[in-house]
Structure 1
Amino acid sequence: MAENRGVAYAGPGRVELVDMDYPEFALKDGPGVNPANVGRQVHHGVILKVVATNICGSDQHMVRGRTTAPEGLVLGHEITGEVVEKGRDVEFLDVGDLVSVPFNIACGRCRNCTARRTGICLNVNPDRPGSAYGYVDMGGWVGGQARYALVPYADFNALRFPDKQQAMDKILDLTMLSDIFPTGFHGCVTAGVGVGSTVYIAGAGPVGLAAAASALLLGAAVVIVADLNTQRLEQARAIGCETVDVSRQDPRDRIEELLGVPEVDAGVDAVGFEARGHGADAAREYPATVLNTLMDVTGAGGALGIPGLYVTGDPGAPDEAAKEGSLSLRFGLGWAKSHAFFTGQCPVMKYHRQLMRAILHDRVEIAKAVNATPIGLEEAPRGYQEFDQGAARKYVIDPHGLLGTG
């Protein structure tokens, strides 16, 4: 049996490499595993040799100690890998297939899954609708920042790449299909972005940059990306976006400079609950800042796509209300402007096949857009540290040296 090793949360501000069990076709007890899931049989699953697995901003929320994640939780929900074993009930995948794994774990059988709302599957997490690998309160499915990983309901969940060699040639792009590319695209679609749209995207991290690339793919006329990080704003400009440093300029003023009016057609929140204030308040956290700004700068009748993460429990929040996910929203403003709001996990399977084709047929260079940077598994702690410090990169962990880091 092959040796397995993975990246685990080791307390606020720390991750560490740990030896871990090779996956089996059953869910074992461990950090974060819901007791009701212990012993769950996974004959419908496959075991992957992980080819690429990415560090996500959502992982950083846990690593910063901003959730109730237990120490020892193996991280990672952005998984691309090769099938090395298949369960007895798997029909349509074979050993040797190279697949992308949506970060949502979905059964394919419940009413939400059959409605393509795979982000809120009813059967994989005893606590609440929706599940993900290596994430707090998501059922305890082991994360994929490891050498090997188990994928349940594999016939339904896994997206097989049609040509393995072609896929490996574009693997840095294709690894973004597990989360951030569909998530950014979902934020734009739900905000109503289309040909000729003007779009304001809050956040120039990887999801924000993926949203920006998605807006351009969808035909937006002007994409304005906002952030406090100058390097990330430079990355946004490099892919053809306008930018605004919200520590220095009011977004409405910048939008009016660019468009002649102070509002856009569509707004996307790619920041989430750790938002900071704007202007003189940029050094402090104000969890509702982005949502309130989006309502301010999005025109009447527009929509807000909100793929940025918001949580029900944040022990590090700046006030008691925010610790329970209660924010001081100007909801009356949104109501008065007849805004539509769309929240929640991206249902990755709704988009990933089409986006795979866009990558394979050279319609988008998503790895370039997010500055994908491969690192070895042993370098993961450094990757987490640099990402937390604001590096304008999307770190792609290469557990087996297949991306040239070994």
Structure 2
Amino acid sequence: MADNRAVVYVGKGKVEVQDIGFPELVLKDGPGVHPKNVGRKCEHGVILKVVTTNICGSDQHMVRGRTTAPAGLVLGHEITGEVIEVGRDVEFIKKGDLVSVPFNIACGRCQMCKEQKTHVCLNVNPERPGGAYGYVDMGGWVGGQAEYVMVPYADFQLLKFPDKDLAMEKILDLTMLSDIFPTGFHGAYSAGVRPGSTVYIAGAGPVGLAAAHSAQLLGASVVIVGDLNPDRLAQARSFGCETIDLSKHDNLGEQIEQILGEPVVDAAVDCVGFEAHGHGHHHAQEAPATVLNSIMEVTQVGGKLGIPGLYVTGDPGGIDEDAKVGSLKIRFGLGWAKAHTFVTGQTPVMRYHRWLMNLILHEKAQIAKAVNATVISLDEAPKGYEEFDKGAAKKFVIDPHGLVKH
């Protein structure tokens, strides 16, 4: 049996590449695996040789020690790979297929899956609705920042690329289909972005950049991106966004007015989440409700707020006892008075990934360019985590087998 290596969270601020077991079509006991999931048979699953797997900001929250993730957890929920083994009950996915794996694990059988709410599948996580690979409190499914990984419910979940050669030519774009492109698109789409919209995107990390590019694809007339990091703001400007350096300005509305002539936008997207910092003079201080409150202030009456930014129910590093359990000081009365619509939660990737694949394959979307996709080897993953934590304006793509031409 072939060996397998993976990126493992070993403690606050540290990951290592370690030898782990070669995957089988069963979920075995291990760090973070819910006891009721131990021994779960997955004859409906496949084994993938990982072609690309990306480092995500959500992974970074765990590595910073800002969740209850256990040491020994194999990381990675953004997976693209080649099928090398199929389970007995798999009918339509074949050995040799090149596929994108939605980060949401979904059974395809429960009420939520049948309603396209695959982000809150009722059957994959005994702890609560929704599952994911290599993530805290998500059922314990082994992550895919590895050479090989097991993927359950293959017929339902996997997005097969129709032409393998073409897919490998565009792999740096297609690798974004497992998470950040659908997540960014979901943020913009659920915020009601349409032709002519003016849009504010909070955060110029990879998801924020994906949301900005998605807003452009949806026809926005102006996309404004706000962040504290000048390098990431420069990346947003590289594909036509307006930007606001939030480290220099306390009043977001005033900065938007300088761009648009009015202090409000039609739609706003929070791509920051619970580790948000204050604006202007307070930018060095963590203030987890800052983004949510600011986007309520600058979104027009009756507007929508897309909130793909991550918020958690357990944060050991929270600034106070409320923040440690996900309770934030949000001006909900302001949102109520302005009749805002809030769309929260993980992204139901399967709702969007085929649309976005076609945009990539037909050269209508350039998501890899927008997020500055940067290829690294599996052994370089710890360094990639370090650079990402320092604010690198890059989306790190791990290439475990050296298959990506770049």
For 1:399, give the aligned amino acid: P
Q: TM-score scaled by structure 2?
A: 0.99
3-state DSSP class of the match of 1:255? Answer: helix
Q: Distance in 2 between matches of 1:357 and 1:378?
A: 32
Distance 2:63 2:120 in 1: 24
Which stretch of the first structure deviates more once superposed, 46-55 or 246-255? Answer: 246-255
Q: Secondary structure at the match of 2:247?
A: coil
Q: Distance in 1 between matches of 2:50 and 2:244?
A: 38
1:336-375 → structure 2 map (5 Å cutoff): 336-375=337-376
Partner of 1:24: 24
Counting only pairs closer than 5 Å after superposition, residues 292-311 of structure 1 correspond to structure 2 as 292-311=293-312
Q: Which residue of 2 aligns with 1:314?
A: 315
SS in 2 for 1:358: helix
Which letter does structure 1 place at the counterpart of 2:46? V
Aligned-partner SS, 1:359: helix
Per-residue deviation, 1:98: 0.1
Residue in 1 that maps onto 2:78: 78
Structure 1 residue 254: deviation in Å? 1.3
Q: Aligned-pair distance for 1:171?
A: 0.1
Structure 1 unaligned spans of 5+: none
**Inter-partner Cα distance in structure 2 for 1:66 and 1:286:** 14
Mapped to 1, the partners of 2:228 and 2:238 lie a distance apart of 17
Instruction: Measure how far apart 1:380 and its partner are.
Output: 0.1
Which residue number corresponds to residue 123 of structure 1? 123
> 1:217 aligned to 2:217?
yes
In structure 2, what residue type is equivalent to 1:96? G
Matching of residues 122-201 of structure 1 within 5 Å: 122-201=122-201
Write the deviation string for residues 126-168 of structure 1: whole angstroms up to 9, x where unpaired: 0000010000000000000000000000001100000000000
> Shift of the alpha carbon at 1:311?
0.2
Aligned partners of 2:229, 2:86: CA distance in 1, in Å?
A: 44
Structure 1 position 349, deviation (Å): 0.1
1:319 Cα deviation after fit:
0.7
1:223-262: CA deviation from partner (whole Å, max 9, x where unpaired): 0000000000000000100000111122211110111110
Match of 2:336 in 1: 335
- Residue number in structure 2 paired with 1:42: 42
**Alpha-carbon deviation of 1:320?**
0.7
- The answer for the alignment partner of 1:380 in structure 2 is 381
Matched residues, percent identical? 72
The one-letter amino acid paired with 1:349 is M
Counterpart amino acid of residue 65 in structure 1: G
AA at the equivalent of 2:277: R
Aligned length in residues: 405
Deviation of 1:293 after TM superposition, in Å, equals 0.3
Per-residue deviation at 1:371?
0.1
* Separation of aligned partners in 2, 1:281 and 1:2: 52
Q: How does 1:240-279 map to 2 (within 5 A)?
A: 240-249=240-249, 250-279=251-280
Structure 1 residue aligned with 2:52: 52
The one-character-per-residue Cα deviations of 1:265-324 (angstroms, maximum 9, x if unpaired) are 001000000000001110010000000000000010000000000000000011110000
Distance 2:246 2:338 in 1: 23
Q: How many Å apart are 1:404 and its aligned residue? A: 4.2
Distance 2:34 2:77 in 1: 17
Q: CA deviation at 1:336?
A: 0.5
- Distance in 1 (alpha carbons) for counterparts of 2:135 and 2:238: 32
- One-letter code aligned to 1:243: T
- Stretches (4+) displaced over 3 A: none
Matches within 5 A, 1:388-403: 388-403=389-404
Q: What whole-Å deviation, never above 9, does each CA across 1:195-221 have from its counterpart, x for those lacking one?
A: 000000000000000000000000000
CA distance in 1, matches of 2:294, 2:259: 17
AA aligned opposite 2:360: I
Gaps of 5+ in 2: none
Residue identity opposite 2:403 in structure 1? L
The superposition leaves residues 92-128 of structure 1 with CA deviations (integer Å, 9 ceiling, x where unpaired) of: 0111000000000000000000000000000000000
Task: Give me the whole-angstrom Cα distance separating, in 2, the residues matched to 1:205 and 1:376.
Answer: 21
What is the CA–CA distance in structure 1 between the aligned matches of 2:87 and 2:171, rounded to whole Å? 26
Deviations 1:15-47 (A, max 9, x none): 001100000011000000000000000000000
Q: Secondary structure at the match of 1:353?
A: helix
In structure 2, the partner of 1:281 is: 282
1:129 and 1:296 map into 2 onto residues whose CA distance is 32
- Which residue does the alignment assign to 1:66? 66
Query: Given residue 269 of structure 2, which amino acid in structure 1 is its aligned partner?
Result: V
